[in-house]
Amino acid sequence: MSGDESSLSTLLLWFCALLLVSAYFSSSETGMMSLNRYRMNHLKRHGHAGATRACKLLEKPDKLIGVILIGNNFVNFLAASVASSIAIILLGDPAPFATAVVLTLIVLIFAEVTPKTIAALYPEKIAYPSSIPLGVLLRLLYPVVWTINFISNNLVRLLGFHPQVDASLQQLTQEELRTVVHESSGRLPAKRQGMLINILDLEKVRVDDIMVPRHDVVGLDIEDDMSDLLQQISSAQHTRIPVFKGDIDNIIGILHMRSVGRMMGVETLNKAVLIQETTEPYFIPESTPLHTQLFNFQNKKIRMALVVDEFGAVKGIVTLEDILEEIVGEFTTDWSDSNKDIHLQADGSFLIDGSTSIRDINRSLDWDLDGQGAKTLNGLLMEILQSIPDSLVGIRLDGYFAEIVQMQGNVIRTIRMWEEVGKDSVT
């Protein structure tokens, strides 16, 4: 073998080795920057060595990028010099243009695009093993890396930017967290995914959106006869019953059904004994967000609250169970039990009580009626009609059709509704 052939073989081996090293730096950079930070922190908490090393390196991304770029550029420039020497041996002159074209194609394919594509697809498989040599190189080249970063950071400041990473930018916002939950559908059961979304939605929902409205509140009027009161207590379906005098705005207290046993043991049972067994009512503003009220219930060890408006008038009641149902769904499993005001008809339409809340309709039927203004279906239709209908009318709204079936005084009592796909006009 001649001297030129021996030199060419050596140079080719060097060139191939430099391409491999360049590919390592390229894949390491992409792999490190493509890591899922939350998964990495999770693995770190569970003692994963590779995740621990990678997390430590990423705490100072400027130094990590510095050592990768120093190594990558040095190797690429050295590969260019070796390629020039190979061109001289093969062609007899440097041939700079031809060498640059061929070298660019080779480096792009074998040292840039291919390794970076693999690293982007499998960041953990690349980044965690690569963290070992990167950590060693960072310690060996620390003075060089520090000098380059010092100059670079000052240039960044001169351009009007801050070189340090804002930690808050690494934290997920509520909407970003919602997106993460939605994209985790393949890993999370639908029920758990729905619960997580409902928890995030608690801040958007107020107590007046889910409360039992005033006219549906079951309570005891202390002015009624004692026999009537006992009859109401014996047939009560609720654990806690408001006790009032004449009007629900005159709340006396809350009677817990577990107190009824003690009350029945009294020889002379009268209204005074009943009032004595009540507890102090708990009032909350109608604008209280659900997540706030959930914590209030927990802190005060109370399970029911009376919702009042800005004038102090009672608008309804809300219970801890109501809020929990917003998270986990209805506790009843029978659709007809949990939707007593919504009745499926043979033709696919629904007969709905006018007092049914828009939120309950949307949750039960998976509809998207506008609940930003009126809270009940009666209120929504009245808002659209802007008058009290004196005859049965049909209304088309937001892709749904509503037909007023029954009026009761000034209130729409029963409505038949069905979905009209593709139609969103209002008539």
CATH number of the CATH domain containing 304: 3.10.580.10
Please check whether residue 388 lies inside any domain of the structure. Answer: yes
- pLDDT tens column, 386-420: 888 766 788 888 789 898 888 888 888 899 999 87
Percentage of the chain modeled with pLDDT above 90: 34
Pair 308, 344 in one domain: no
Same domain, 339 and 317: no
State which residues form the domain around 388. 335-419
Q: Are residues 48 and 163 in the same domain?
A: yes
Q: Is the pLDDT of residue 20 over 90?
A: yes
Least confident of 31-35, 149-153, 338-342: 338-342
In this structure, are 74 and 9 located in the same domain?
A: yes
Residue 382 and residue 288 in one domain: no
Domain count, the chain: 3
51-57 average pLDDT score: 92
CA distance 304 to 218: 13
* Contacts for 123-127: CB closer than 8 Å, 24+ residues apart: 123/30, 123/31, 123/32, 123/34, 123/35, 123/36, 124/31, 124/35, 124/39, 124/50, 125/31, 126/27, 126/28, 126/30, 126/31, 127/28, 127/31, 127/32, 127/34, 127/35, 127/50, 127/54
User: What are the tens digits of pLDDT across the range 289-348?
Assistant: 999 999 999 999 999 999 999 898 999 999 999 898 888 876 654 444 445 688 888 888
- 295 part of a folded domain: yes
The pLDDT of residue 166 is above 70: no
CATH code for the domain in which residue 407 is found: 3.30.465.10
Domain presence at residue 179: no
- Pair of tokens at residue 28: 């390491």
Residue 136 has pLDDT above 60, yes or no: yes
Residue 187 belongs to a domain: no
> Does 347 share its domain with 218?
no
pLDDT band of residue 119 (cuts 50, 70, 90) is very high
Asked if 283 and 359 sit in the same domain, the reply is no
- Any domain includes 342: yes
Is the pLDDT at 103 greater than 90? The verdict is no
Choose the final residue of a domain: 110, 142, 168: 168
* Mean pLDDT value of segment 94-114: 85
What is the predicted pLDDT for the residue at 367? Answer: 87
Q: Per residue in 77-97, pLDDT tens?
A: 998 888 888 888 877 666 677
Tell me: do 77 and 114 sit in the same domain. Answer: yes
Give domain status of residue 99, yes or no.
yes
Q: What integer pLDDT is reported at residue 362 of this predicted model?
A: 84
One domain for residues 284 and 342 = no
User: Does 349 lie in the same domain as 290?
Assistant: no
Whether residue 54 lies inside any domain: the answer is: yes
Kindly state whether residue 186 falls inside one of the protein's structural domains: no
Asked if pLDDT for residue 365 goes beyond 70, the answer is: yes
Query: Residue 426 — very low, low, confident or very high, per pLDDT cuts 50/70/90?
Result: very low
**Across 65-88, average pLDDT:** 89
Half-sphere exposure of residue 397: CA atoms within 13 angstroms, side-chain side: 18
Higher pLDDT, 349 or 176: 349
Q: Where does a domain end: 300, 322, 344?
A: 322
pLDDT at 144 over 50: yes
Lowest mean pLDDT among 48-52, 283-287, 387-391: 387-391
Final residue of a domain: which of 294, 322, 350?
A: 322
Q: Which pLDDT score, from 0 to 100, does residue 182 have?
A: 79
One domain, residues 143 and 217:
no
- Together in a domain, 351 and 268: no
